[in-house]
């Protein structure tokens, strides 16, 4: 519909430029649905863009354009110059009614497109190292990445969801040492560090207390789950691990157990990955050495202070970075670079990293270095998101990662449910701080809780169907509904809103901004709920059979679009509430 109109405008504009003796290209004009319905179904800004070039007033050009339109197509019913030089057009025929037919016909695939043309996109997200439970930041990232991936799939991209984690370095060793320390404390052969010093990052603690050594590492993981892990090992092995044959058992067990817990959490919130990849494999496959060698070959590596440096300043960045530490151990930067090369070796057309703001600084180094190794820089994208804070009773809930006194994804989901969790996490623009208001999230009142507002709007379509069945009124066949009796302004507004859905899905995917979808769902629900609620003017089930049938068609259309929107968000679309 819009495509045909667009062509009509292009053709008319070509004629207009011809008359003006201008051989130049058409301007990149916009043809979009204006905010206000008074401004027609579509508005075109071409006249304003041409004003300077043709040295004529924009309204004058717009008049000419309006005059030319009828010779170049038949989609325009009425056209009018407005404002500074917009051409507002009203479409011919029963355009919104046609649209509902399309919604009903396409059903679950309405809103989907094939513009991705099967391009392979890798979306890397969460990627939390297995050192503890998922935090709310991970939760936000998980939902964000998952919905972006789903949106891309809905637009014809071939998507791989991937989780990458570092399990080679110091952090994992620290994790193992933390578990070992707690284990020894449980055996009574080590003393825990003084409680009051744990929260203080500057504090030193004595090497022994009451004759027992303090082995808990200075930067160790302090969460209660570490002690649980130690207890588990003690239950299984008794005191046999005080001097274990396999010194890696603490680290290995911790990684396995924590990673299993993370996967369970992800499963609970409806996130599944196609591929898990990790740092260790990059080592064993020789990718780390290879990447370092290739960087060296490009003259981007030098030695200083017994460490190996990346000459990032040669790549336009503000400082150099260490690739291999004095200890001989690579920093995380080197494997990250190797990993991004690996992505392109695996033939992805686009790779998309979803990361929290705390990691943002890292990305430019990885991208520039990978680009120097012949990876296409513009095909490495970053979606950065800000943090999540939790509010309860108007007060921010204090969270401390260091002391592990933070609310986990598991806890929050147990508290508010998966659907509310996902909806709230994806409602805000990624770059905005997200304030998760527990009071709103836990409110069961659909008027107060936006997640329920959308779900309830969907459930109501079934409520009406149930009512119809009760009254002996049959639901119409999806393929043969005459919706022309729908003429009330609120009905046209609903039809228009339904028509916007494909564009929203498309834009949200291409801009990697899934919050548009959540907003759209709220908008549609915000039109639908009052329509249903205010039965005085337009009860769906009335005496007029044709009108009833048409309104039942609208019910089905709204249901379809709400269900599709909720589906893309990974949220259930209930029939009852």
Q: What is the nearest approach in angstroms of RNA to the Cβ of residue 22?
A: 16
Does 141 engage in binding with RNA (CB under 7 A)?
A: no
Does 40 engage in binding with RNA (CB under 7 A)?
A: yes
Binding residues with RNA: total (CB under 7 A): 90
Q: What is the nearest approach in angstroms of RNA to the Cβ of residue 524?
A: 11
Binding residue for RNA, selected from 305, 378, 395, 543, defined by CB under 7 A = 305
Greatest CA span in the chain, whole angstroms? 98
Binding residue for RNA, selected from 12, 61, 64, 88, defined by CB under 7 A = 88
Does 48 engage in binding with RNA (CB under 7 A)?
A: yes
Q: Which of residues 507-566 bind RNA (CB under 7 A)?
A: 513, 515-516, 519, 522-523, 526, 529-536, 539-541
Closest CA to 387 of 435, 441, 440, 422: 435
CA distance 242 to 341: 42
Binding residue for RNA, selected from 36, 235, 316, 479, defined by CB under 7 A = 36
Binding residue for RNA, selected from 61, 149, 300, 464, defined by CB under 7 A = 464
CA distance 386 to 357: 5
Q: What is the nearest approach in angstroms of RNA to the Cβ of residue 248?
A: 17
Please identify, using beta-carbon distances, which residue of 4 and 396 lies nearer to RNA.
396
Q: Which stretch binds RNA (CB under 7 A): 154-162, 239-247, 338-346, 429-437?
A: 429-437
Please identify, using beta-carbon distances, which residue of 298 and 442 lies nearer to RNA.
442
Torsion of CA 551, 552, 555, 560, to 10 degrees: -130
Q: Which of residues 338-367 bind RNA (CB under 7 A)?
A: 357-362
Does 45 engage in binding with RNA (CB under 7 A)?
A: yes
Binding residue for RNA, selected from 3, 21, 52, 378, defined by CB under 7 A = 52
Does 84 engage in binding with RNA (CB under 7 A)?
A: yes
Specify the 3-state DSSP secondary structure of 447: coil
Please identify, using beta-carbon distances, which residue of 233 and 292 lies nearer to RNA.
292
Strands 212-213 and 395-396: unpaired
Q: φ, ψ for residue 313 (rounded to 5)?
A: -65, -25
Please identify, using beta-carbon distances, which residue of 3 and 305 lies nearer to RNA.
305
Q: φ, ψ for residue 440 (rounded to 5)?
A: -70, -45
Phi-psi region of 475 (alpha: psi -120 to 50; beta: other; left: phi over 0): beta
Q: φ, ψ for residue 36 (rounded to 5)?
A: -95, 135
Give the torsion sign (CA, 445, 451, 453, 457).
negative
Contact string 378-417 vs RNA (x = CB under 7 A):
------x-xx------------------------------
Q: Which residue has the tokens 């905010």?
A: 35
Where in 132-200 does DSSP place strands (E)? 158-165
Does 303 engage in binding with RNA (CB under 7 A)?
A: no
Q: Where are the alpha helices (DSSP H) in 188-238?
A: 195-198, 224-237
Contact string 168-187 vs RNA (x = CB under 7 A):
-xxx----------------
Where in 12-100 does DSSP place strands (E)? 31-32, 42-44, 76-82, 86-91
Residue 302 tokens read as: 């030098």
Q: What is the nearest approach in angstroms of RNA to the Cβ of residue 428?
A: 4
């Amino acid at each position: 519909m819009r495509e045909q109109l667009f062509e009509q405008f292009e053709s008319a504009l070509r004629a207009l430029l011809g008359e003006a003796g201008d051989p130049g290209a058409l301007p990149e004009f916009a043809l979009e649905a204006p905010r206000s319905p008074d401004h027609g179904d579509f508005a075109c800004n071409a006249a304003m863009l041409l004003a300077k070039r043709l040295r004529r007033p924009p309204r004058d050009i717009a008049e000419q354009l309006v005059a030319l339109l009828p010779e170049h197509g038949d989609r325009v019913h009425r056209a009018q110059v407005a404002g500074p030089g917009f051409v507002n057009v009203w479409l011919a025929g029963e355009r919104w009614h046609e649209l509902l037919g399309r919604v009903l016909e396409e059903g679950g695939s309405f809103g989907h497109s094939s513009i991705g043309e099967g391009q392979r996109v890798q979306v890397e997200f969460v990627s939390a190292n297995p050192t503890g439970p998922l935090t709310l930041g991970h939760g936000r990232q998980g939902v964000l990445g998952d919905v972006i991936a789903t949106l891309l799939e809905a637009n014809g991209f071939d998507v791989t969801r991937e989780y990458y984690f570092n399990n080679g370095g110091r952090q994992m060793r620290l994790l193992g040492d933390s578990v070992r320390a707690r284990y020894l404390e449980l055996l009574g052969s080590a003393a825990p560090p003084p409680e009051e010093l744990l929260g203080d990052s500057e504090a030193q603690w004595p090497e022994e207390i009451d004759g027992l050594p303090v082995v808990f590492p200075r930067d160790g993981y302090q969460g209660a789950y570490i002690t649980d892990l130690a207890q588990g090992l003690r239950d299984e092995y008794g005191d046999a691990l005080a001097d274990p044959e396999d010194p890696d058992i603490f680290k290995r067990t911790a990684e396995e157990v924590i990673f299993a817990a993370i996967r369970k959490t992800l499963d609970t919130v409806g996130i599944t990955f196609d591929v898990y990849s990790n740092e260790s494999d990059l080592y064993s496959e020789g990718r780390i050495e290879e990447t370092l060698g290739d960087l060296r070959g490009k003259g981007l590596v030098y030695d200083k202070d017994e460490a190996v440096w990346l000459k990032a300043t040669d790549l336009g960045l503000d400082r150099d970075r260490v690739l291999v530490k004095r200890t001989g151990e690579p920093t995380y930067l080197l494997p990250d670079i190797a990993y991004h090369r690996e992505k392109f070796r695996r033939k992805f057309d686009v790779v998309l990293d979803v990361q929290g703001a705390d990691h943002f600084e890292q990305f430019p180094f990885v991208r520039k270095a990978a680009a120097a190794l012949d990876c296409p820089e513009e095909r490495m994208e970053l979606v950065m998101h800000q943090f999540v804070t939790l509010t309860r009773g108007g007060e921010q809930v204090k969270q401390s990662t260091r002391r592990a006194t933070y609310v986990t994804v598991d806890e929050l989901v147990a508290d508010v449910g998966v659907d509310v969790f996902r909806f709230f996490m994806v409602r805000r623009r990624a770059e905005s701080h997200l304030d998760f208001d527990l009071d709103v999230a836990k409110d069961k009142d659909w008027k107060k809780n936006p997640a329920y507002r959308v779900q309830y709007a969907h459930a109501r379509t079934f409520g009406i169907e149930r009512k119809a069945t009760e009254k002996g009124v049959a639901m119409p066949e999806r393929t043969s509904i005459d919706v022309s009796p729908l003429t009330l302004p609120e009905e046209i507004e609903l039809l228009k809103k339904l028509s916007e859905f494909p564009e929203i899905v498309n834009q949200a995917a291409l801009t990697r901004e899934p919050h548009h979808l959540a907003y759209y769902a709220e908008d549609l629900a915000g039109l639908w709920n009052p329509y249903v609620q205010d039965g005085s003017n337009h009860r769906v089930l009335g005496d007029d059979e044709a009108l009833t049938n048409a309104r039942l068609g609208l019910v089905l259309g709204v249901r379809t679009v709400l269900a599709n929107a909720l589906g893309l968000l990974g949220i259930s679309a209930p029939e009852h509430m």
